[in-house]
Structure 1
Amino acid sequence: MMQADNPIMWLRVQLTKRVDASSLGLFRIVWGLLMVWEAVRKLPKVTGIYSPEYFHFKYSLFPFIEPLPEVWMMRVEVWFMLAAALLITAGLWFRGASAVFLLIYTHLFLIDKLYYNNHFYLTILFSFILAISNADACYRFHWFRKRSPVTDEPPTVPLWNLVLLRGQVVVLYFFGGIAKLNSDWLQGEPVRYWFSIKPPDHILAPVLSQEWFVWLVCWSGLLLDLTAGFLLLSRKTRVPTMLVLIGFHLTNDQLFKIGLFPLIGISMLLLFVDPDRPRKVFVWLTQRWKGATVTEPQEALTAATSKTAPAAWGLTAFVVCFLAFQSFWPLRTWTYAANPSWTEVGHCFSWRMMLRHKDAFMQFTFDPPETERYLEQHPEILPKISQAHLQRMVKNPHFLLQYAHALNETLEAQGKHNVKIHCYSVVSLNGRPYQLMIDPEADLATASYGFFEVPNWIVPLERHKRAGLYPKTEEARQEAIRLAIQGIKRKPAPQTIIQASGSAPAETLRQ
């Protein structure tokens, strides 16, 4: 009666209620295998995006994170991450392996903001939760350690282990849907454009050009994101929702290049099955295989559950605060008057998925003009930037500012002080006519980028411009860019030290 009248006490009891560890253990194995694959995929990037020789775009709160000083060190780091993922899969030295994997993966994630991806962010959150959980309580391998004594009682874990993971999945889906409540998505952009550039031999080519399919993908994706997490929590709607989500993720895998996320999305469904379901399935399979009868220790599990003690206040506060923060943090984008897809302010860590396609052209110019001639004569002093970095930089105001600051530091090191750096940037968002993104009068050498505000040197997106007006040909695109540049009152100098045009494949821009 006290628990019914006291919600906090009820919550404390529920969080430490013991449940079968089977579903969490199976998820740990599948998750570990996916992380093994993720580590293998990162090995070639050691000489690319993680290489210490390149200039890296930083997160505002973590400007001090750097790659290891040598490429071989980066390679060793990734190999350690791979070993940790294997140990996680096996359930060996689980807590230590999880901590190592989390630290290395987070370091690689924070090295360069260029490749921010929502499923990378999700990997960090899941890795953290697993590291503090008892996910190794079930289905551990015993190759190098003595087997645990056999008991009549199945392994159990406190319910808060599943509450955190399930809660994070609900947040992922729901706020992914909230982010889609914008005029572009509701009108079919940029999905319509992405479908239009698919090759004619694509497996879904017959329907990609159909307008009804565009509307089906946009609106079904919106409704599924808004409801899927909550429907998974109910036994009555869980199974049909799982079937729909499996089809949804498999379709996304065919339509978009989004890495491991479809497999991660399917694996997350294991967290919502009844905790003892995998064990019962394995028992049934054993009976079928061996022809023997195996008694399920259900009574022991019930007895263990009935003796649950209330969770400590610290644990209860941690679970509540973690899920509350994850629920409120994405909402910060709604406090900005500007569109995050345009300004990039608040775009990261907000589950804003598949919302924008940008095409851009930019030029850096310098005042005094002789600075440009100096840099042309000494290109070796420029911060080294890869083609991938250049393609993304032209679309992102924060990246442009960081590179301008790096240029200014380089010039000051060469004795060139008080140089003003201007940028002529025209961008098209989701097929809108090209317009200025950066104020050409602003001095990026001294401009700043506030973490919780839209900088005044970013030109607001013109709201009256309609989306979906993509140039039909490359010639039409070049002409549209030329006309947009001519519309700038202060015309750019004819010679510039850095000039770039970005029309990267849409797959690189979706997360």
Structure 2
Amino acid sequence: MFDRIFFSKIDNAPLLVFRVFFGILITLESFGAIATGWVKNTLILPKTTFSFIGFEFLQPLPGPGMYFYFVVMGTLGIFVALGYKYRWSIIGFTLLWLCVYLMQKTSYNNHYYLLFLISFLMCFFPANTGLSIDAKHNEAIRSNTMFSYVKWMVVAQLFIVYTYASIAKLYGDWLDYGIIEILMRSRQDYPIVGPFLQQPWVHKTITITGIVFDALVIPALLWKPTRKIAFIIAIFFHLFNSIIFQIGIFPYLALAFTVFFFEPKTIRGIFFRDKNKNADKSITKPSKGNLFIVGCSLYLLIQIILPIRHHFIADDVLWTEEGHRLSWRMMLRSRSGKIQFKVVNHTSGSAHIIKLKDYLSKKQMRKIAAYPDFIWQFSQHLRQEHQAKGDSISVYALNSKVSINGKPLKAFIDPKVDLANEKWDHLKHHEWIFPSNHKNKTE
């Protein structure tokens, strides 16, 4: 059974077409990040960097270095689309994108994580065996087939993403339309559609559609009788998200994935000159086939486990944020808050309140007021800054209060805990975060 699922030979037209689309999209993502000011505002201007915890060694290049960095990524994207030095190009892009992803999380986006995962998988796919400069220059690699594992790894990855996204929406603030109302409120000034988006029936429609679409789109695309209607709905759904939520290349990447769900002969008939290629449908297990199966299974197992890890961490992930990232919990909450940091200098015997604007951008200040890992990291930054001067300090979060989904502010961080001397554990609850049922509320 595993040999049939992984090693059946199938037409590779969908993979070749997807490679072209993917290369174009990562090129647009890279150059677009420069053109829109994302690189400047996220990686160049901020004085303080919030990387993923454990990856603090990854820091933006000094001066205009990050512009050059993204130009290189965009160029590699062009190479991927053209199928030029494909293996080196996709590996290079994957590593560069991974570093960008890990070196900053102020602009965290689930789609950035998905882009890394797909780039990683593409490193192992034979996506340059046709419709590429590589195949033109080296006929030995040219092929019109691929192993079936390529299709099913992509399908499995997408099924995991969409299924967890649907399940995560089955909670109070999504089901009572509250979070959608908040999201739409910030878009009331949109030309033409702004007032329309404020209608309660629109909020209900988006709420229900979000759950149903995420739950059913992959099965509907797999089943031939519903494939075309699912594709049409997907076009409308993702274009709506692109226009209203402005979430970069993801809607178009999601549509590009659909090539894996249509019959290869349909894809070949649309995009290729040699429309009548007949793929060898034999089963040919490579010499290291069993190791390959283990590797794919381990990858998918990790993808299944990561999104449920928050169930094994105390308290509600919606409140603590512990286990939220890498879990496909998309557009589920709106967080805001306020906080002060008090530094007690044991060397000089002084104490003072930190002026956040001296360290952080406006976006970083919004994050640090509402997210515990940002609060902890900033405390560590202050400790390291003073250690460099030979000072020993304690850092306390004062008046820390958080509002989730527009609810009243509620005490968040224990002001008695010295955060400078606390440790961070990715898989455990941090007791200095007040419980979600904490009684100390404020207006």
Give the TM-score normalised by structure 1. Answer: 0.79
Aligned twin of 1:497: none
Shift of 1:52: 8.6
Give the TM-score normalised by structure 2. Answer: 0.91
The 1:206–1:112 alpha-carbon spacing in structure 2 relative to 1, beyond 3 Å, is closer
Aligned twin of 2:377: 402
Aligned twin of 1:243: 232
Counterpart code for 1:403: F
Aligned twin of 1:271: 260
Measure, in 2, the Cα distance between the counterparts of 1:359 and 1:96: 43
| Percentage of matched positions with identical amino acids | 25
The 1:412–1:313 alpha-carbon spacing in structure 2 relative to 1, beyond 3 Å, is same
5+ residue gaps, structure 1: 1-9, 287-293, 466-480, 485-511
Shift of 1:227: 2.0
Measure, in 2, the Cα distance between the counterparts of 1:420 and 1:55: 17
Counterpart code for 1:296: N
1:217 and 2:210 are equivalent in the alignment: no
The 1:94–1:460 alpha-carbon spacing in structure 2 relative to 1, beyond 3 Å, is same
Measure, in 1, the Cα distance between the counterparts of 2:203 and 2:332: 14
Aligned twin of 1:498: none
1:428 aligns to what SS in structure 2? strand
Moved more, 267-276 or 118-127: 267-276
1:413 and 2:406 are equivalent in the alignment: no
Measure, in 1, the Cα distance between the counterparts of 2:54 and 2:131: 39
Describe the superposition over 1:240-291 as per-residue Cα deviations: whole angstroms up to 9, x where unpaired: 21211111111112321212221112112122112232212346xx6xxxxx
Counterpart mapping for 1:101-180 below 5 A: 101-141=93-133, 146=137, 148=139, 155-180=144-169
Aligned twin of 1:326: 303
Shift of 1:200: 4.5
Aligned twin of 1:477: none
The 1:230–1:337 alpha-carbon spacing in structure 2 relative to 1, beyond 3 Å, is farther
1:346 and 2:361 are equivalent in the alignment: no
- Match among 326, 343, 350 for residue 370 of structure 1: 350
User: Are the aligned partners of 1:137 and 1:157 in contact in 2 as well (CA < 8 Å)?
Assistant: no
Measure, in 1, the Cα distance between the counterparts of 2:170 and 2:64: 45
Counterpart mapping for 1:400-479 below 5 A: 400-462=375-437
Measure, in 2, the Cα distance between the counterparts of 1:149 and 1:315: 23
- Match among 91, 95, 106 for residue 83 of structure 2: 91
Aligned twin of 1:80: 72
User: Are the aligned partners of 1:438 and 1:459 in contact in 2 as well (CA < 8 Å)?
Assistant: yes
Shift of 1:334: 2.2
Measure, in 2, the Cα distance between the counterparts of 1:206 and 1:73: 42
The 1:129–1:65 alpha-carbon spacing in structure 2 relative to 1, beyond 3 Å, is same
* Number of aligned residue pairs: 437
Moved more, 318-327 or 18-27: 318-327
Shift of 1:459: 1.1
User: Are the aligned partners of 2:51 and 2:103 in contact in 1 as well (CA < 8 Å)?
Assistant: yes
Describe the superposition over 1:135-190 as per-residue Cα deviations: whole angstroms up to 9, x where unpaired: 11221147x96373899xx6111111111112111111111111112111111121
Measure, in 1, the Cα distance between the counterparts of 2:244 and 2:341: 36
Which segments of structure 1 move beyond 6 Å, counting only runs of 4 or more? Answer: none
Larger radius of gyration: 1
Shift of 1:421: 2.6
User: Are the aligned partners of 1:442 and 1:457 in contact in 2 as well (CA < 8 Å)?
Assistant: yes
Aligned twin of 2:367: 392
Counterpart mapping for 1:220-299 below 5 A: 220-282=209-271, 296-298=276-278
Aligned twin of 1:305: 281
The 1:295–1:186 alpha-carbon spacing in structure 2 relative to 1, beyond 3 Å, is closer
- Match among 167, 171, 174 for residue 182 of structure 1: 171
2:264 aligns to what SS in structure 1? coil
Measure, in 2, the Cα distance between the counterparts of 1:250 and 1:148: 39
